């Protein structure tokens, strides 16, 4: 989908459909909707009188213009109650509109910026949300389905039309920003949706190479098994041992400031398939574990957008990538391994592998001089028990960084909730035979994962995002797509931008 900004009267657009809007309770539409209504001799007012158009949130009404306008169709989007209308609503509405208009004969769509006029929202924020939502809503993962004609049609062009030339000029960079954020999210979705036979650690590293090659501001390094061995990454390697696929530890650098170390490290769990290893998972729903590399996809895709938006910060992404398989050489329960920082780990459950690969990824971030670390991982099934799919848990050793992360999430339309890191939970990872063990047996599964990870960040301000309950969704909803949802990608980007 191409997105363009233009100055003009939307009523004069000859797009296949023009999109206008209506707040609930409005009987005489104003602004662009009023102009379109006038050109249609009051057709919209008549529909309001009849009760067919009410402006309710989610209401989408397609009418035909019968030659009264250059465009053959008008879509009237209900905005709901003005008091409830915010940038999240704009983003979700824009995504829903793009899905609604996915039909034969509709290639060019012209839209006004919802909320920018009488809506009273920050105009540029609203323009960004329109573009972001449109890109996010246009996402589908169809590459493994044989072509079947019409159901693949997609909007080719979205024109954001604004009457005022100065306002239109300000919309241009905002629209581009929304597009960059949306495209990065879709790139992460593409990786997470990919089956594990189409996305091995080697192939994931190739995707990261492609992202880095496309942006001059990025550089990439991929550690092979021998390199990891040399660096003492015994925790990561203990997971890779059971697989025939070679592991990859991906590092992407973005230098926007050119300082020492890094302002931010983002570290993502990259298990391209999690069978559980010797502590093998039950067969039911195991296919969902193809998405256990969502954290890695998230940090790789975030770097794509950070490079495009070019903030004056230095960011490094680290993604430890491997399969977790029960091969003949696999780690066995009771085995003890040593991470890069010298911490010894008793592996009681080989299915708690995410924290094992992240341990060495976090150690590397510390070694590289990260002043802040955020890790993102599909770490625990317990996250679903705690939160369903409404919000995701964050855990931290630093309130200030956690607040910045929370604000970035809020700007992305994502809800987060902090889980406690009381020192009493330290006991939950104490081992009889090593420094720590990789799984607890006293509940609080999501917190235990964080308590384990905390041992590898030294004193660096750090936030852990456990996205295991939101990475895959069973239905689409506003900006959220079915399958890989794209959760946390824009949050990491917005966090990096906020550190400038």
Just list the catalytic residues.
281, 355
Assigned token pair, 337? 């391994």
| Among the listed residues 119, 445, 478, 486, the single contact to ligand BES using CB under 6 A | 445
Residue 381 near ligand BES by CB under 6 A: yes
Measured from the CB of residue 106, what is the shortest distance to ligand BES in angstroms? 37
Residue 292 near Zn ion by CB under 5 A: yes
Per-residue mark of binding to Mn ion, 328-367 (x: CB under 5 A): -----------------------x-x--------------
What phi, psi does 448 have (nearest 5°)? Answer: -60, -40
CB atoms within 10 A of CB 203: 18
How many angstroms separate the CA atoms of 334 and 152, rounded? 51
182 or 354: CB nearest ligand BES: 354
Residues touching ligand BES: how many (CB under 6 A)?
Answer: 16
User: Can you point out the beta strands (E) in 190-282?
Assistant: 218-223, 248-255, 264-268, 270-274
Query: What b-and-e string marks burial along 263-278, b requiring 16 or more CB atoms within 10 Å of the CB?
Result: bbbbbbbbbbbbbbbb
The answer to whether the beta carbons of residues 243 and 273 sit under 8 Å apart is no
| CA distance to 196, 243, 322, per residue, from 271 (Å) | 9, 11, 5
Assigned token pair, 97? 């509109």
Helix (H) or strand (E) holding 96: helix 87-100
How far from chain centre, in Å, is Cα 386? 21
The answer to whether the beta carbons of residues 392 and 400 sit under 8 Å apart is no
Stretch that binds ligand BES, among 75-83, 102-110, 215-223, 378-386 (CB under 6 A): 378-386
| Among the listed residues 88, 132, 263, 274, the single contact to Mn ion using CB under 5 A | 274
Go through the chain and tell me how many residues it has: 500
Measured from the CB of residue 58, what is the shortest distance to Mn ion in angstroms? 38
212 or 293: CB nearest Zn ion: 293
203 or 383: CB nearest ligand BES: 383
380 binds, among ligand BES, Zn ion, Mn ion, none (CB under 5 to 8 A by kind): ligand BES
97 or 444: CB nearest Zn ion: 444
| Among the listed residues 274, 323, 375, 454, the single contact to Zn ion using CB under 5 A | 274
Residue 468 near ligand BES by CB under 6 A: yes
* Footprint (CB under 6 A) of ligand BES, residues 225-284: 274
Residue 354 near Zn ion by CB under 5 A: yes
**Long-range own/partner contacts, residues 172-177 (CB < 8 A, 24 or more apart):** 172/5, 173/124, 174/124, 174/125, 174/127, 174/128, 174/131, 175/3, 175/5, 175/127, 175/128, 175/130, 175/131, 176/131, 177/128, 177/131, 177/309
Residues touching Mn ion: how many (CB under 5 A)?
Answer: 3
* Footprint (CB under 6 A) of ligand BES, residues 317-376: 349, 351-354
Measured from the CB of residue 473, what is the shortest distance to ligand BES in angstroms? 12
Residue 295 near ligand BES by CB under 6 A: no
114 or 464: CB nearest Mn ion: 464
What phi, psi does 20 have (nearest 5°)? Answer: -125, -175
- CA-based torsion, 489, 492, 494, 500: positive or negative: negative
How far from chain centre, in Å, is Cα 422? 29
Stretch that binds Mn ion, among 274-282, 334-342, 366-374, 453-461 (CB under 5 A): 274-282
88 or 353: CB nearest Mn ion: 353
439 or 460: CB nearest Mn ion: 439
Give me the residues that bind ligand BES (CB under 6 A), please: 274, 288, 292, 349, 351-354, 378-382, 439, 445, 468
Give me the residues that bind Zn ion (CB under 5 A), please: 271, 274, 292, 354
Give me the residues that bind Mn ion (CB under 5 A), please: 274, 351, 353
């Amino acid at each position: 989908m191409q997105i363009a900004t233009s100055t003009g009267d939307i009523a004069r657009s000859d797009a296949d459909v023009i999109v206008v809007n209506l707040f609930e309770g409005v009987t005489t539409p104003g602004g662009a909707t009023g102009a379109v209504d006038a050109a249609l001799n009051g057709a919209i007012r008549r529909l309001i009188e009849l009760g067919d158009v009410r402006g309710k949130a989610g209401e989408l009404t397609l009418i035909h213009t019968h030659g009264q306008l250059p465009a053959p169709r008008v879509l009237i989007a209900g905005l709901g109650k003005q008091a409830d209308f915010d940038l999240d609503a704009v983003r979700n509405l824009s995504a829903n509109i793009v899905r609604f208009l996915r039909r034969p004969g509709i290639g060019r769509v012209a839209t006004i910026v919802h909320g920018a006029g009488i809506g009273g929202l920050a105009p540029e924020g609203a323009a960004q949300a329109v573009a972001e939502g449109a890109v996010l809503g246009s996402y589908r993962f169809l590459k493994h389905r044989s072509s079947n004609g019409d159901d693949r049609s997609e909007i080719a062009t979205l024109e954001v039309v604004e009457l005022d030339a100065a306002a239109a000029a300000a919309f241009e960079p905002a629209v581009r920003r929304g597009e960059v954020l949306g495209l990065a999210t879709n790139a992460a979705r593409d990786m997470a949706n990919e089956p594990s036979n189409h996305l091995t650690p080697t192939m994931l590293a190739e995707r990261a190479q492609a992202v880095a090659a496309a942006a001059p501001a990025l550089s990439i390094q991929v550690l092979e098994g021998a390199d990891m061995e040399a660096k003492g990454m015994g925790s990561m390697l203990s997971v890779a041992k059971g697989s025939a696929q070679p592991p990859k530890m991906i590092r992407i650098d973005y230098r926007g400031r050119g300082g020492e170390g890094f302002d931010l490290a983002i570290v993502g769990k990259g298990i391209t398939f999690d069978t559980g290893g010797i502590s093998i998972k039950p067969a039911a729903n195991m296919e969902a574990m193809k998405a256990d590399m969502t954290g890695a996809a998230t940090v790789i895709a975030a770097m794509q957008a950070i490079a495009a938006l070019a903030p004056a910060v230095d960011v490094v992404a680290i993604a430890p990538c491997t399969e977790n398989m029960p091969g003949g050489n696999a780690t066995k329960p009771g085995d003890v391994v040593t991470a890069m920082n010298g911490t010894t780990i008793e592996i009681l459950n080989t299915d708690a592998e995410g924290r094992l690969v992240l341990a060495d990824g976090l150690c590397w971030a510390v070694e590289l001089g990260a002043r802040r670390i955020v890790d993102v991982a599909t770490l625990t099934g317990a996250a679903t028990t705690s939160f369903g799919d409404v919000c995701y848990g964050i855990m931290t050793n630093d309130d200030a960084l956690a607040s910045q992360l929370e604000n970035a999430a809020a700007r992305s339309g994502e809800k987060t909730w902090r889980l406690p890191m009381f020192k009493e939970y330290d006991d939950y990872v104490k081992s009889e035979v090593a420094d720590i063990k990789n799984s607890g047996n006293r509940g609080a599964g999501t917190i235990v994962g964080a308590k384990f990870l905390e041992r590898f960040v030294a004193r660096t301000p750090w936030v852990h995002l456990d996205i295991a309950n939101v990475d895959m969704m069973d239905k689409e909803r506003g900006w959220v797509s079915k399958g890989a949802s794209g959760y946390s990608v824009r949050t990491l980007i917005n966090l990096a931008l906020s550190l400038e």
